[in-house]
Each structure stands twice: as C-alpha cells, then as structure tokens.
C-alpha cells in the first residue's frame, strides 16, 4: 500500500516519532507475580466450572488458576498447553469477555469476572520465557502427514501429530508461518514479534518441517499430497475478500482491511506507513475494529466504522467496540455503501440507511474519505478442493472432508466461528482423528 499522486491524502509520518512507540505498545501489559496471585485468589475453583464449557479448547481453567495461586505458573502453563498449544496468543487475542469470562460465576454475581485471559498470559509467558518446551515426541511411527496452512489450525494440528510421533511437513503460501496470528491481528495486541516467537517455540517439539512460499494450486496440488503422504490436513484459511458491490469501488484508495493490517504487522518503520486523513472502514467484525483503531493510531484525523446492521449485531464484541470508541473511532450502524465518489481516487463514499432487515430507507448520506478499508468478510479460494458446504469446505466429525485421507479445519472449514481459539481446537481434534485413523490402519 503506497501513496500515489491520485491519493494525495494518504501520506506517511503523520505523527511525531515518539508517538508511534507509545501508540503501539502492549495493550494489556502482563500481570506481575503479585497481581497474578491477587487475581487468582478471586477464583472459586468451581467443580462444574462454566468457564471450561465456554472455552472452545476445553482448558481446565480452575485447575490452572489454582496452580498459579499455589506459586506454580509453569504447571499452570502445562495445563493450558495440554489443550491449546497456542495458549499464549489466545491469551492476547481471544474474546474472553464473550467466552470464559462471560460465563464466570464472579461475572454473573458481581459483574466483574476473574481475569482468566490475563492469568493465562501470565502462566504461558512464564514458561515460554524459560525456553522450555513442555512436551516430548512419542516414538516415531514412520507415518508422514502434510499440513497445508501454517495458521492456528495448521500449527495446532501439526504439533499434536508430531507429539504422537508422526512426521509433519507444513506448506504455507506466505513468507512466514503463523497465518492470521502473524498477518491478520492488530499490532497493538501482539507487539514484540510474539507470533514468530510462538511458532519457533512450538516447533521445538521436533518432527515438523515448514516450507514457506508454497501455495495450494500454484505450487502443490491436493492429489500430489495425497499420493506422497499418509494424510493431509487443510488449514488454508480464506484468501479472498468480499466485494462492496458499490459503484466506483475500484477507485484508488479503496483497499482490503486485511492487507492494511498485514502491511502494518510487517512494517519495520511505522512512520513510513501511509494512512489517510479521512478513513472509512466498512464492516462490523474484529478485522474492521483492528483496521479502524490502527488507522487512528497511525495518525488519521477522522476514522469512521460503518456497519450495515445494528450495533448489537456486530461480530466485534462490545469490549472491542468500546475500545474503538475510546481511540476516537466513530461507529455508524444501519448503513450500507452505495457508491464511491471521486475522480480516479476516492474523495467521498455514499451510504444509505437500512432497516433491521437490511431493506433501504431511502435516506442517504456521504462521508469524506481519502482511504476506505473493506472488512466485510473473506471467501475461500482454490481449485480442486473437497466438497463445499456453502462457501467453505464441508466437514463431518473431527474435520473429515469428502475426500478420504483429507481433513480440514479453521476458517476454511464449515461450522467454525472465525476465532483463533476455535481454529486451534479444530486443528487439535483433527490431529487426534488422523492419528486414530493411521493407528487403526496399522
């Protein structure tokens, strides 16, 4: 993404140099030892803990909090990693406010849940900082599995398979592994190159080889992988971005939010990253919020997030919405884009207000914009894939596809909810099913 003569409003270096470091520091610094003990002491250690049921990876939350309370955060980390090998990243980006913490008995009784996410980060950071990997490989099975996609689902699947003694090769189209953890999550949520550090730590299990720059359909095919490997797991994510279906959306300055976030995550110098003066983000999910907040943190003067439905229907949690508002993002709901105006480059974007059923009201308005980010969902791309269920790969059980010997999980598979923690659970469960299948085959 670069400024051109057609987009004079998109420039770099809008802030003083010191502001970039301040704006993109850790959103939630790690708890210190005393803070962790105080937070852990609030847990009731429920026997039938609703927080466990609310966790997509079924982490034994009361157990790991009790382990922190007794001064053994390394044991707590092991409890977490048993179920979620990417527990460090999930502690940073998981919407705990709508999952485990919303189900917390303290939340129900007092409106103030136990800080489960922050305690999880405390434990996992403690163990990872020691450079220790808590698992060892089983005896080699002689079986080889291909994993396509080095995102959360693929990494979780590969780690569990390697732990069972299988040899795994991960193929990924990007220059770095990590998937959305590396390229698609706001920089202020995971500063310090944490995504790559986590991948390097995960690979210490051994038995996993990563081949970057290898895309399914371009460099490798599903048929070839099936012929070479004993099983294949597809964790390819969603490569395409939905269109606005608005007149003039091909104008300069109308960009994909996921690309904007990826550019920022990979930028060595944030002051060199161009951003508009008047930025409009279209969408209502986490990606939309991340793009809007980051545009504001980069120095955009006016940032508006526009969503076609009511605020209560936004996929972004109330916490994320409030975070955006606290950073100066204006949230406009019940409005859909009609046209992008400008001579070559966007200067304004026109919207029409909608009813709750998305029917138009006939009332329109325009917002000035020199940069527009589309965050209205992504689509599956690729040829020769297993059968689809709608726009995603059809799966049954623990990720089995219509093709024998091929499993799928994460955002590319039907039935998920596009969360890192859900992708981890699907990759882990598929690995267990792959292992059971290969073991049964002898």
Domains detected in the chain: 41-129 (1.10.1060.10), 144-239+380-441 (3.50.50.60), 242-377 (3.50.50.60)
- What's the first-to-final CA gap in the chain, in angstroms? 52
| Helical H segments across 4-136, by residue range | 17-23, 33-40, 50-54, 61-69, 73-83, 87-93, 100-103, 105-110, 116-129
CA atoms of 68 and 79, how far apart (whole Å): 11
* CA distance to 14, 179, 238, 314, 426, per residue, from 410 (Å): 37, 11, 9, 21, 6
The pLDDT value recorded for residue 94 is 93
The model's pTM: 0.94
Q: Beta 254-256 vs 371-374: how paired, if at all? A: parallel
Question: How many helical (H) and strand (E) elements, i.e. helices and strands, does the chain have?
Answer: 17, 17
Three-class DSSP category at 232: strand
- pLDDT for the residue 28: 81
- Which pLDDT does position 53 carry in this prediction? 97
pLDDT, tens digit only, all 442 positions of the chain? 444 444 668 999 999 999 998 898 888 889 999 999 999 999 999 989 999 999 999 999 999 999 999 999 999 999 999 999 999 999 999 999 999 999 999 999 999 999 999 999 999 999 999 998 999 999 999 999 999 999 999 999 999 999 999 999 999 999 999 999 999 998 888 887 899 999 999 999 999 999 999 999 999 999 999 999 999 999 999 988 889 999 999 999 999 999 999 999 999 899 999 999 999 999 999 999 999 999 999 999 999 999 999 999 999 999 999 999 999 999 999 999 999 999 999 999 999 999 999 999 999 999 999 999 999 988 898 888 999 998 999 999 999 999 999 999 999 999 878 899 999 999 999 999 999 999 997 6
What confidence score (pLDDT) does residue 8 get? 67
Task: Strand 231-234: give its sheet, edge to edge.
Answer: 208-212, 167-172, 144-148, 231-234, 406-408
């Amino acid at each position: 993404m670069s400024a051109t003569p057609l987009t004079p409003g998109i420039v770099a270096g809008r802030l003083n140099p010191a502001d970039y470091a301040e704006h993109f520091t850790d959103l939630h610094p790690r708890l210190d030892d005393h803070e962790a003990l105080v937070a852990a002491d609030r847990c009731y250690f429920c026997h039938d803990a609703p927080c466990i049921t609310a966790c997509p990876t079924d982490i034994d939350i009361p157990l790991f909090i009790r382990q922190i309370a007794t001064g053994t955060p390394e044991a707590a980390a092991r409890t977490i990693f048993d179920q979620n090998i990417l527990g460090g990243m999930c502690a940073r980006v998981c919407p705990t406010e709508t999952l485990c913490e919303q189900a917390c008995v303290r939340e129900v009784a007092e409106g103030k849940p136990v800080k489960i996410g922050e305690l999880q980060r405390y434990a996992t950071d403690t163990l990872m900082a020691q450079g220790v990997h808590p698992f060892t490989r089983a005896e080699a099975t002689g079986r080889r599995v291909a994993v396509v996609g080095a995102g959360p689902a693929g990494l979780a699947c590969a780690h569990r398979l390697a732990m069972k003694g299988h040899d795994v090769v991960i193929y990924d189209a990007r220059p770095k592994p990590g998937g959305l953890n590396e390229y698609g999550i706001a920089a202020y949520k995971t500063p310090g190159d944490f995504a790559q550090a986590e991948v390097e730590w995960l690979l210490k299990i051994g038995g996993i080889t990563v081949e970057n720059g290898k895309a399914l359909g371009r460099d490798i095919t599903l048929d070839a992988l099936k012929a070479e490997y004993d099983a294949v797991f597809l964790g390819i994510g969603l490569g395409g971005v939905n269109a606005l279906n608005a007149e003039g959306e091909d104008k300069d300055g109308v960009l994909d939010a996921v690309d904007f976030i990826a550019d920022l995550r990979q930028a060595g110098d944030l002051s060199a990253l161009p951003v508009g003066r008047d930025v409009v983000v279209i969408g209502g999910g986490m990606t939309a919020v991340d793009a809007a907040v980051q545009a504001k943190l980069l120095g955009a003067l006016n940032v508006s997030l526009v969503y076609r439905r009511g605020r209560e229907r936004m996929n972004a949690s109330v916490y994320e919405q409030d975070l955006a508002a606290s950073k100066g993002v204006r949230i406009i709901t019940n409005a859909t884009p009609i046209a992008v105006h400008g001579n070559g480059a966007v200067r304004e974007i026109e919207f029409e207000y909608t009813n709750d059923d998305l029917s138009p009201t006939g009332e329109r308005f325009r917002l000035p914009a020199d940069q527009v980010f589309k965050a209205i969902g992504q689509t599956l791309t690729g040829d020769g894939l297993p059968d689809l269920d709608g726009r995603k790969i059809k799966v049954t059980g623990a990720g089995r596809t219509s093709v024998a010997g091929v499993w799928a999980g994460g955002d590319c598979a039907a039935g998920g909810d596009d969360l890192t923690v859900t992708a981890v659970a699907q990759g882990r469960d598929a690995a267990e099913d792959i292992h059971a299948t290969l073991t049964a085959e002898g």
